[in-house]
């Protein structure tokens, strides 16, 4: 699997996401994912499954140093002291003394950006976090975070799939030396049944889901998270590096984007999103 280098962080291009995965599912599926080769694991404080993720990694035959582990600080913990305490709590649950990447989960908060970025830098300097990043930030917020931070900002984790044009945000990320990490790659179940994606998949003996994941990781500076609670789907999600989409297919998939393509935009947490290119 290839990795994306963003501001010094070497991030495996395909990750295993645990959003909306109950602990029991994590304990059942994540060990198989690690065995298969998913060595980039994504969780968050708000997911309520850090302890199970930590338990699986701790018991795994895969060395901790070979796993790229991401978690995210929830908005309720953005005040400086609460932030530091929450990171210690996350590390305890994850049974590790560091995470590879720590993100601010959503921008919506009355805590000043300087305080949040300052706390990120503090845990980075303390060695509790190898790299820092943001999630669900618009371009102006990405630029502000970069200006305020001593440590490089590695990535912005955002909703990204064929129905949502993120060209402008990706261009801004590249300009800032950052990557985009795509979540909701299956667009809440729309992708697997899409006629165009199925047609392209048929040409490569791949599924529509594999085509969408490949489309994401084939773009420069893009990482994608895949998620499944079905063990049989793990192999499907992982098998996206043995084929390539043609330039024409890449363009065709981009035409699926539409103005109402965004799925995730919680009031009070989401920013004012950048308009599509």
Residue 277 placed within a domain: no
* 77 vs 241: CA distance, rounded Å: 38
Residue 264 included in any domain: no
Q: What is the pLDDT of residue 1?
A: 72
Nearest to residue 135, comparing CAs of 275, 1, 277, 269? Answer: 269
Residue 237's nearest CA partner among 212, 200, 268 is 212
Buried b (16+ CB within 10 A) or exposed e, 157-193: bbbbbbbbbbeebbebbeebebbbbbbbbbbeebbbe
Q: What is the pLDDT of residue 110?
A: 97
Q: Count of domains in the chain?
A: 1
Catalytic residue among 47, 78, 184, 238: 47
CATH number of the domain within which 206 lies: 3.20.20.100
Unique residue bearing structure tokens 């509790």 = 128
Q: Is residue 229 part of a domain?
A: yes
Q: Could you give the CA distance from residue 2 to residue 15 in angstroms, rounded to a whole number?
A: 11
**Whole-prediction pTM:** 0.97
42 is in which domain, residue-wise?
Answer: 3-254
Q: pLDDT by residue for the chain (277 residues), tens digit each?
A: 799 999 999 999 999 999 999 999 999 999 999 999 999 999 999 999 999 999 999 999 999 999 999 999 999 999 999 999 999 999 999 999 999 999 999 999 999 999 999 999 999 999 999 999 999 999 999 999 999 999 999 999 999 999 999 999 999 999 999 999 999 999 999 999 999 999 999 999 999 999 999 999 999 999 999 999 998 899 999 999 999 999 999 999 999 999 999 999 999 999 999 988 6
Cα 119 to Cα 75: distance, rounded to the nearest angstrom: 13
Residue 277's pLDDT is: 64
Question: For residue 261, is it within any domain?
Answer: no
Rounded CA separation 84/77 (Å)? 8
Supply 215's token pair: 């489309």
DSSP string across 9-37: EEEESEEEE-TT--HHHHHHHHHHHHHHT
Residue 30 resides in a domain: yes
Question: Does residue 265 belong to any structural domain of this protein?
Answer: no
What's the CA gap between 132 and 220, in Å, rounded?
Answer: 20
2 annotated binding-site participant = no
Respond yes or no: is residue 160 known to be catalytic. no
Question: How far is the C-alpha of 134 from the C-alpha of 121, rounded, in Å?
Answer: 12
Distance CA(178)–CA(5), nearest Å, equals 8
- Tokens representing 89 are 């709590």
Bridge-based pairing state of the strands 153-159 and 129-135 = parallel
Dist CA 223 CA 170 (whole Å): 11
**268 occurs within a structural domain:** no
Residue 260 maps to a domain: no
- For residue 148, with 0-12 CB atoms within 10 Å meaning exposed, 13-18 middle and 19 or more buried, which class applies? middle
Give the model's pLDDT for residue 203: 98
């Amino acid at each position: 699997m290839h990795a994306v280098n963003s501001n010094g962080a070497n991030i495996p291009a395909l990750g295993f996401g645990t959003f909306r995965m109950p602990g029991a599912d994590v304990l059942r599926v994540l060990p198989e994912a690690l065995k298969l080769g998913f060595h980039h694991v994504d969780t968050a404080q708000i997911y309520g499954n850090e302890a199970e993720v930590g338990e699986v990694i701790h018991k795994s035959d895969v060395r901790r140093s070979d796993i790229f582990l991401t978690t995210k600080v929830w908005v309720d913990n953005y005040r400086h002291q609460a932030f530091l305490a929450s990171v210690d709590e996350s590390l305890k649950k994850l049974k590790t003394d560091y995470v590879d990447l720590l993100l601010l989960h959503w921008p919506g908060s009355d805590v000043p950006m300087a305080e949040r970025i300052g706390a990120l830098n503090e845990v980075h300097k303390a060695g509790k976090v190898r790299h820092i990043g943001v999630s669900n930030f618009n371009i102006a917020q990405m630029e502000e975070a970069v200006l305020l931070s001593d440590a490089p900002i590695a990535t912005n984790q955002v909703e990204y799939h064929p129905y949502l044009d993120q060209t402008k945000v990706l261009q801004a990320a590249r300009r800032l030396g950052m990557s985009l990490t795509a979540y909701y790659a299956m667009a809440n179940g729309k992708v697997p049944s899409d006629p165009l994606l199925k047609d392209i998949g048929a040409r490569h003996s791949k599924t529509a889901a594999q085509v969408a994941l490949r489309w994401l990781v084939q773009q420069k500076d893009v990482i994608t998270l895949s998620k499944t609670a079905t063990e049989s789907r793990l192999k499907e999600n992982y098998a996206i590096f043995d084929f390539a989409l043609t330039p024409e297919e890449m363009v065709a998939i981009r035409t699926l984007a539409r103005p109402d393509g965004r799925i995730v935009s919680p009031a009070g947490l989401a920013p004012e999103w950048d308009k599509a290119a």
